[in-house]
C-alpha cells in the first residue's frame, strides 16, 4: 500500500567534496543556510537581507556584476535612511552612512560569489509591490496605499532569471547555479494569487534551466506541497514548514547533490553536533573533553570544515 507521493529527483553530485555556498533569496534560504553553517560548510547568505522576488534579486546582482555603487539618491529618508532594494532590517541614521555601508556590502558580495562553488537562488514569489513603477524588495512597513501590487508576467520573470544567471556567471564562471522555489506560500495576497505566483516562477524557471548549462533545479516547493501533504508538517500559520519538514527537504537535497564521500563526512559532523548539543547532568567536564577531542579529530581529518 502506497500512502504518499514520492518525488523522483535525479542524483547530480557536485564535483567538490565539500562545496562552499552563496545563498540569496527568500527566508527559506536563511533557514537552510543556518543548517549548512552548523554542519561546517562555508556559507554566505542574503547580505542585504531576505529578498523574495526574482526582479529584485537580479537588480542586486546587476549592481555587483557591473560595479554600480550606491549614491545618496538611491536611499529614501523617513526618520531613517533605507533602500527599496534591501530588506526592512537595513536602516541607517543618515544617508551618508547608508551609502558607505551598502557599498561595503556590495564589495563583499562580489568577493563571496567569486569564490563560491554553488550559488543558490531561492525564489519566493513573482508577486511584487511597486513604488513609483519600480518593484521593491521590501515595503519597510510603509502603508500599502503607497504601493501597487502586481503579478510579474511570465516573460518578465523569465528575463529576470536569465539576467540572474548572466550576472552570476560574469562574477564566477565556474559556479554551479542552483535554483529552488520556496515552499512558503504567500497567502496574504490570496490563495489563488499565491498559486499563480508560484506557477509563474516554476514555468519560467524550467523554461530557462532546460536550455542553460551549469544550472539545476531542486524541488523544495514540490516536496513540501506533494510529498509532505499534511498540515502536521506546517507551522501554526499553515504555510511555513516545521523543523521536521525542513529536515526532510534537507535530506533530499543531500541525497541529490552530495557524493557518497560527502554524505559520509556529513554523518560524522552530525554526530559531533549532536554530542556538542547534549547537556549531561553528570560528568560535564568529561563531556566537554569528549566534544573537544571529537572536534580536533574532525578538523584533523577534514581541514576544510568550518566548525563554529
Q: Could you read off the pLDDT of 74-92 as tens digits, one per residue?
A: 999 999 999 999 999 999 9
Q: Answer whether 176's CB lies under 8 Å from 216's CB.
A: yes
Residue among 54, 14, 284 nearest 180 (CA): 54
CA dist 170 and 184 (Å) reads 30
Residue 259 DSSP code = -
Higher pLDDT, 28 or 76: 76
Answer CATH for 21-257 from 3.40.640.10, 3.40.50.720, 3.40.50.1110, 1.10.3720.10? 3.40.50.1110
- The residues with which 77 forms a beta bridge, in sequence order, are 81
Residue among 83, 87, 22 nearest 48 (CA): 87
CA dist 27 and 43 (Å) reads 15
- What's the pTM? 0.93
Specify the pLDDT at position 1.
76
Looking at residues 188-217, what average pLDDT do you find? 94
CA dist 54 and 167 (Å) reads 13
Instruction: Say how many residues make up the chain.
Output: 308
CA dist 159 and 204 (Å) reads 9
Q: Answer whether 134's CB lies under 8 Å from 84's CB.
A: yes
Phi, psi dihedral angles at 207 (to 5 degrees): -60, -40
DSSP calls for 271-298: HHHHHHH---SS-HHHHHHHHHHHHHHH
Domain boundaries, the chain: 21-257
Q: Strand 127-131 vs strand 43-45: parallel, antiparallel, or unpaired?
A: unpaired
Q: Say whether pLDDT at 197 is over 90.
A: yes
Grid cell digits, residue 65: 556584476
Hey, is 75 helix, strand or coil? Answer: coil
Q: How confident is the model at residue 286 (pLDDT cuts 50, 70, 90)?
A: confident
Looking at residues 267-277, what average pLDDT do you find? 93
36: Cα within 13 Å, side-chain hemisphere? 24
Q: Could you read off the pLDDT of 103-126 as tens digits, one per residue?
A: 999 999 999 999 999 999 999 999
Q: Say whether pLDDT at 268 is over 90.
A: yes
Looking at residues 241-258, what average pLDDT do you find? 94
Amino acid at each position: 500500500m502506497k500512502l504518499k507521493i514520492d518525488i523522483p529527483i535525479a542524483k547530480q553530485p557536485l564535483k567538490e567534496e565539500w562545496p562552499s555556498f552563496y545563498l540569496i533569496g527568500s527566508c527559506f534560504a536563511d533557514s537552510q543556510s543556518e543548517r549548512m553553517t552548523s554542519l561546517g560548510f562555508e556559507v554566505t547568505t542574503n547580505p542585504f537581507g531576505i529578498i523574495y522576488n526574482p526582479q529584485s534579486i537580479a537588480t542586486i546582482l546587476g549592481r555587483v556584476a557591473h560595479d554600480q555603487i550606491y549614491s545618496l539618491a538611491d536611499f529614501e529618508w523617513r526618520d531613517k535612511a533605507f533602500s527599496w532594494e534591501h530588506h526592512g532590517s537595513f536602516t541607517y541614521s543618515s544617508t551618508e552612512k547608508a551609502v558607505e555601508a551598502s557599498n561595503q556590502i556590495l564589495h563583499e558580495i562580489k568577493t563571496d560569489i567569486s569564490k563560491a562553488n554553488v550559488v543558490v537562488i531561492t525564489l519566493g514569489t513573482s508577486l511584487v509591490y511597486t513604488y513609483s513603477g519600480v518593484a521593491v524588495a521590501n515595503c519597510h512597513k510603509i502603508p500599502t496605499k503607497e504601493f501597487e501590487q502586481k503579478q510579474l508576467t511570465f516573460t518578465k520573470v523569465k528575463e529576470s532569471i536569465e539576467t540572474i544567471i548572466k550576472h552570476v556567471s560574469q562574477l564566477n564562471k565556474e559556479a554551479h547555479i542552483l535554483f529552488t522555489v520556496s515552499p512558503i506560500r504567500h497567502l496574504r495576497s490570496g490563495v489563488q494569487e499565491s498559486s499563480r505566483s508560484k506557477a509563474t516562477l516554476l514555468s519560467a524557471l524550467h523554461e530557462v534551466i532546460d536550455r542553460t548549462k551549469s544550472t539545476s533545479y531542486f524541488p523544495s516547493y514540490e516536496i513540501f506541497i506533494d510529498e509532505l501533504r499534511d498540515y502536521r508538517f506546517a507551522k501554526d500559520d499553515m504555510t511555513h514548514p516545521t523543523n521536521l519538514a525542513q529536515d526532510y527537504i534537507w535530506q533530499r537535497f543531500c541525497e541529490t547533490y552530495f557524493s557518497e564521500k560527502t554524505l559520509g563526512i556529513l554523518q560524522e559532523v552530525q554526530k559531533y553536533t549532536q554530542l556538542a548539543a547534549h547537556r549531561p547532568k553528570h560528568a560535564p567536564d568529561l563531556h566537554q573533553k569528549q566534544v573537544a577531542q571529537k572536534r580536533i579529530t574532525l578538523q584533523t581529518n577534514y581541514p576544510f570544515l568550518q566548525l563554529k
